[in-house]
Amino acid sequence: MKVVAVRGLRVLLVLLALAFCGYSVASQWDATVNAFRQMSWVTLAGAFAAGLAGLFAWMLGWREFLAGLGSPLPVRAIFRISGISQLGKYVPGKVWALVTQIEMTREHRVPPERSFGSTLLAVATSTSCGLAVAAVTLPLTSAAARREYWWLFLLAPVLLVMLHPKIVSWALDLMLRLVRRPPLEHPVSLGATLRAVGWTVLGWALFGVHTWLLCAAAGGGGKGLPFLATGAYALAFVAGFLVFIAPGGIGAREAAMTLVLSSVLPPGAPVVVAIASRVLLTAADLANAGIALLLGRTVPAAGNEPGPGELVTGTQPTTGAQPTKEGP
């Protein structure tokens, strides 16, 4: 009964997410059609492909954190879990993606505290790296960004330092204690953190390509446009994330992107870019979810279930015993 209930809730969540996606597109349908008419299909296809690639890079970053906590999963399983659960970000509240991800990783015998910890780490990393990208690319290229969002730039180095494994372990254990869950068996290693950061930064670069293609098609130019476009999307994403109730950061993301791009694009063009980006990345999320559903359920990964004397094969026991041999 529990399995049936969970699957029913998952279906309901997907339907709700699709409804909100449809509403966000329908509410600005005329503006979307106008934006697409101003760009070639080659540009739109390239921006869509870059967005898909950026989402995939972020999936791999989350996979590194999950493996670092002791639950390595194959890429296919990660793709299916992430592709479906990320639809939850379109439902107001921003917690539904996390809840769905935790429930779907249970199918692979991943303890919920590991799924919870890895997801929080992935979100913190994408936000920190996004602020860092914006802080590097925008202060020298956008006076409007310096004036309106200077306080966010100051947070970038602080958040990056907080990704250190010792700080992360303390924070996660505190949160798990508050929700009465057992602590993590061991912290994510510095190597796993750096690999996850690498995938995340690659994702930001790909999203920068996505935005740059749209900006160039809307009349933008100059050697600094790729850097400004990358910083504009990074800042817009973080601004949208901070607006907790808005599904997918709608409104706040477009406002930040329009503000930054106004200095390098013709009048009206920044809104066109913001709307085209929103629709293309929504389509990318839907495409990932569709492919994930077509893949079907994957075989649970071996070694993720708790075992006698330790919580998972390949990690250190919670007692003072000697570490076991590392798994794959």
What local confidence, expressed as pLDDT, does residue 309 receive?
A: 38
Q: For 171-217, write each residue's pLDDT tens digit.
A: 888 888 887 777 777 778 889 999 999 999 999 999 999 999 999 99
Place of tokens 């429930």: 103
Q: DSSP letters along 36-97, please? A: HHTS-HHHHHHHHHHHHHHHHHHHHHHHHHHHHTT----HHHHHHHHHHHGGGGGSTTS-HH
> What is the pLDDT confidence band of residue 2, given thresholds at 50, 70 and 90?
low
What local confidence, expressed as pLDDT, does residue 315 receive?
A: 39
Q: For 49-85, write each residue's pLDDT tens digit.
A: 999 999 999 999 999 999 998 889 999 999 999 988 8
Lowest mean pLDDT among 204-208, 278-282, 309-313: 309-313
Alpha-carbon distance of 65 to 71, in angstroms, equals 9
Place of tokens 């602020």: 131
